[in-house]
Structure 1
Amino acid sequence: MKILTKNELQLAEEALINHFPKSLKVYGFLYGINRNRPTTLEVVVDSWPDFKVIICRPDPKNRRALEFMKKVTYFCMDEQILRKMLTEENAIDWSTYFLIGGFDSSHTSMLKEVSAEREVNNRGYTLVHLMFLPDISRLRTPEIDSELESRISSLDPSHTELVNNTWKFGKNQQGFRNIKNLITNFPSCCITDTQGEPVSWILMYDYCALGILYTLPEHRGKGYAKVLICSMVKKIHAEGYPVYCFVEDDNTLSHKLFTNLGFTEDPSYRAKWVEFNF
């Protein structure tokens, strides 16, 4: 097992492009890290340069890691190598709470077996569709009048509390820190009212996926979500970011929304989030 250096992270990012869409979440983390976005992660592989497993995990030397949820993400081309890294090579610290997010749901049984051997409890958090836009020309952009276009803007740190208080995983200090980090360091897009206050918004997670799409209840039914997604997609595509998102399995409304805008998915693939030591 090897911890990747700065130069090796660049090469790993390039290698992961060949495995889209399944590698998109790890690719997204590396994309941000390689462009000097703040991170609390380190990246390890089973071997180099021809790796079969790549894992993003909390960096024990990073003091800021304690301020955020302990997250692990990986991309795996060989489940047996992954099992060995988890059981014999201490690729993950099993002693405290952590969340493995965005992994191939076919690995669920193996992860449960490994955690049971270590007497670590686990529970499924959510099952999701990985939606992506392989070609920007496929984006179906709605017509936007000049008045609405003039109200499209970006979020700033002063909007952190508003977003955190409406986010399903927020409403606490850890959520506040997370939202502030995203607004400060990653692209965002919002629609404002006549007083310049955000009424609808979309952010980018630190793994470069679109997310936290929300419209205040009194402003729904006006097509703001479509406008925001398309505006954000054009913005991040122009800056070189990947264009993808995760949609929870039971969120049929959002799945239909992204599908109608031109996003697609691998129908044989589902990603999953699982908590350990909760």
Structure 2
Amino acid sequence: MNQKTEIIEFLIKDEINNINIINFIEDYPIYYIEKIDDSVIVKGTSDKNWIYISSKSEEELKIIKSRLDNNDKNFAAIEEWMLPILTNKNKIKWRLSTMKLILCNDTYIVKPKHNVSDLTINDAEFIYENSDYKDFISIQYIIDRITNGISSCIRYMDKPIAWAITQDDGAIGFLHVLPEYRKMGYARDVTIALIKKVRDKNKIPFVHIEEENEKSMRLATGLGFKKDKVVNWFEIE
């Protein structure tokens, strides 16, 4: 058994807490991975070189901090308590904070009311142009997620009018409905379809939502997602 497999097996013992890092390890090239007692640090590449950390100990996190070098700039799904240690003496270039919500396996989900299909790479540029997160994503990243992740969309005249895609850590994301098609239940249906596809792959459905995004938060909690904790993406200068 190699080191990567051993660490995944360790992380799965607390799967809900570690679902982000597990999915990232499984789906993307990892160039550094280390277990320090009960903590794990992972460096890997999707759209950027990302650092993922699993830890419950300040002392172990300080050791992890010592494993970082000047090239380690981008951090993913970092818990609030970790921030002061990891960003000490460093200026944060940008930061995105979200609430992580989990859908339990025994939560029943109804079927979509509308016809739902998959996205194709031909949709990538259109999705990017209609995204509210252009500062954090790229067309190439969207192509990667459509190709290697899971997607769902509702089309009208062959054009996607509502869609969702899993992120590089497996979270259900990219949820968007064109303004003229809102309040028709499309966001709910593409999310429901994506939940089913995630479950079909024996994965746990979860989302990251900015807490001020009341509409998305209502949608998620209405489907049965439960709040877990705040996590952060950020880049240091």
TM-score, reference length from structure 2: 0.90
C-alpha displacement at 1:254, in angstroms?
1.1
CA–CA distance in 1 between the matches of 2:71 and 2:3?
29
Q: Is 2:36 aligned against 1:57?
A: no
**1:259 is matched with which residue?**
221
CA–CA distance in 2 between the matches of 1:143 and 1:155?
17
Structure 1 segments (4+ residues) deviating >6 Å? none
Q: Is 2:17 aligned against 1:44?
A: no
**2:118 is matched with which residue?**
154
Output the amino acid matched with 2:231: A
The answer to whether the 8 A contact 1:140-1:260 is kept is no
CA–CA distance in 1 between the matches of 2:50 and 2:71?
14
Deviation string, structure 1 residues 8-44 (Cα, Å, up to 9, x no partner): 3233223222224321211121232xxxxxx243341
Give the structure with higher Rg (CA). 1
Output the amino acid matched with 1:103: I
**1:62 is matched with which residue?**
none
**RMSD between superposed Cα atoms in Å:** 2.3
The 3 A distance-change label for structure 1 pair 143 and 112 is closer
C-alpha displacement at 1:142, in angstroms?
5.9
The 3 A distance-change label for structure 1 pair 138 and 46 is closer
Specify every segment of 5 or more residues in structure 1 that has no aligned partner in the other structure, as ranges: 1-5, 33-38, 60-64
**1:93 is matched with which residue?**
69
The answer to whether the 8 A contact 2:165-2:173 is kept is yes
Match among 141, 145, 149 for residue 186 of structure 1: 149
**1:131 is matched with which residue?**
101
Instruction: For residue 21 of structure 1, give the secondary structure of its aligned residue in structure 2.
Output: helix
**1:215 is matched with which residue?**
177
The answer to whether the 8 A contact 1:141-1:227 is kept is no
Instruction: For residue 106 of structure 1, give the secondary structure of its aligned residue in structure 2.
Output: helix
Match among 244, 248, 262 for residue 206 of structure 2: 244
Larger strand fraction of residues: 2
C-alpha displacement at 1:128, in angstroms?
1.5
Q: Is 2:27 aligned against 1:28?
A: no
The answer to whether the 8 A contact 1:16-1:23 is kept is yes
The number of residues matched between the two structures is 237
**1:73 is matched with which residue?**
52
**1:273 is matched with which residue?**
233
Output the amino acid matched with 1:205: Q
The answer to whether the 8 A contact 1:28-1:209 is kept is no
C-alpha displacement at 1:123, in angstroms?
5.0
TM-score, reference length from structure 1: 0.77
The 3 A distance-change label for structure 1 pair 239 and 143 is closer
**2:83 is matched with which residue?**
108
C-alpha displacement at 1:213, in angstroms?
0.4
